Chain A
Amino acid sequence: MYAFTYHRPGSARQAAGLLAKKEDAKILAGGHTLLPTMKQRLASPAALVDLGGCGDLKGIVRKGRTLHVGAMSTHAEVAASAIVQEAIPGLAYLASHIGDPHVRHRGTIGGSVANNDPAADYPAACLALGATIVTNKRKIEADDFFTGLYETALEEGEIITKVVFPVVSKAGYAKFRNPASRYALVGVFVAKRGSEIRVAVTGAGEGGVFRWPEAEAALKARFAPKSLDGLKASAEGINADMHADADYRAHLIGVMAKQAVAQATGK
């Protein structure tokens, strides 16, 4: 790691102040992407603003038909939350399958969403559930938030404070893990909210998480795994690497989508 100065504000407001003041400062949330990158000397922020002391970024509450998850909620907290399990069990399931138990104890939803790793799990849930990413400055719809590989609508110094999920009637997630890294080789989150169906795919897109309209249309007729029979995602725009080429990933999108629907419908 290169040297940096360390700051631990007590609130999001203080954090924003520090970010504005410090040259080349980066936000430290759970640190499970940033710190390994810094260890490899691939990132060299001059200052780190650790959100770990910001009590206002914690907490999971349900408000009517919405679920509010504080940005510094760890994956383990989301997975174990009775509120999440009751409101959107598919989201709790997703959180319980991110990384490994140790990663889940430290990694946070805000960090994951802000980083927008193309193989991360949360972006799929945000996009499929139609979440709202709330920052210290504004509210951003998930549809507008994920703008490309490791890119989001966040502006310099903007801090995610919470993610608000609509409580949907049905939701499910399935992923096929990269055997080595255990990140999603392909992950599909499906959600049914009233008559609206959304299917979001992570791990596979050259530009990061994306929606799969053909599957959404097929599931609109009937929200059942069978509705996806014979439906194959196009390999165009699909990521290829040494672990999986575009054809295989495209195929897995269909398989995972079916499994996600089966989970969502309890079948």
Chain B
Amino acid sequence: MASVSMTVNGKPVTGTIDPRTLLVQFLRENLRLTGTHVGCDTSQCGACVVHIDGKAAKACTVLAVSLEGASITTIEGLAGEGGLHPMQEAFREHHGLQCGFCTPGMIMSAVDIVNRRGHQLDEKTIREDLDGNICRCTGYHNIVKAVAAGAEAMAGQGMERKEPPRQAAE
């Protein structure tokens, strides 16, 4: 067993865990934060996406023990105290979810896209950057709309992006 301490949704947590415990297991089983889901075993579906130190990552492909001192944000902690995060609100407003299973990962990914790319997102950018999230219900149409609207709403609420947009040769 190994000991690990990290911050989850702003609160310090410590666990004594088997080293093979994945972050998603630590969240779901140790902390009972069941909003982070598991939809595949090959690191592709994105249902488990959380933010590790502000960056989207697949919680099914990270060992919890490797996150000593890290800060984790899950869907449960996205909005802070009360109310909804603008991206959550946008998913509701634009019907960006049906069964809801992929939704937490989608929303966490969407916020990450805004963090990386800014608030004005075109359809092509959104579709390409959702590459790591699979939804079987919506056909993505309304998710794309929700992400674009959520990105704009985040600007309106002072949630300015943390990093400059990428300028890779694309």
Contacts and interface: CB of A to CB of B under 8 A. Distances in A.
A and B in direct contact, judged by CB atoms within 8 A: yes
Given A35-B63, A102-B132, A182-B131, A96 B109 contact: no
Contacts of A263: 169
Interface residues of B, number: 37
B56 A39 contact: no
Contacts of B46: 100, 102
Given A3-B20, A106-B62, A36 B168 contact: no
A100 B58 CA distance: 10
B63 A101 contact: no
Interface residues on A, range: 35 or more
B134 to A, nearest CB: 10
A101 B66 contact: no
B113 A101 contact: yes
Given A101-B116, A103-B43, A106-B62, A6 B169 contact: no
Interface string A218-244: 000000000000000000000000000
B62 A1 contact: no
Nearest to A172: B169
A32 B22 CA distance: 12
Contacts of A20: none
Contact of B65 (A3, A6, A99): A6
A79 to B, nearest CB: 5
B111 to A, nearest CB: 12
Given A8-B66, A100-B132, A1 B20 contact: yes
B168 A89 contact: yes
In this complex, the member of A36, A100, A103 whose beta carbon has the largest number of chain B beta carbons within 10 angstroms is A100
Contacts of B169: 85, 89-90, 92-93, 263
Given A80-B166, A96-B170, A102-B58, A6 B132 contact: no
A35 to B, nearest CB: 5
B57 A105 contact: yes
Nearest to B48: A102
B166 A96 contact: yes
A103 B132 contact: yes
B93 interface: no
A255 B60 CA distance: 36
Interface string B91-124: 0000000000000000001001100100000000
Interface string B125-136: 000010111000
B161 to A, nearest CB: 12
In this complex, the member of B2, B109, B166 whose beta carbon has the largest number of chain A beta carbons within 10 angstroms is B166
Given A6-B19, A6-B63, A31-B66, 7 more contacts: A32-B61, A39-B41, A85-B167, A85-B168, A89-B169, A93-B169, A181-B44
9 contacts: A5-B19, A31-B62, A36-B43, A39-B41, A89-B168, A89-B169, A92-B169, A99-B132, A101-B132
Interface of A: 1-6, 8, 28, 31-32, 35-36, 38-40, 48, 50, 52, 76, 79-80, 82, 85, 89-90, 92-93, 95-96, 99-103, 105-106, 181-182, 263
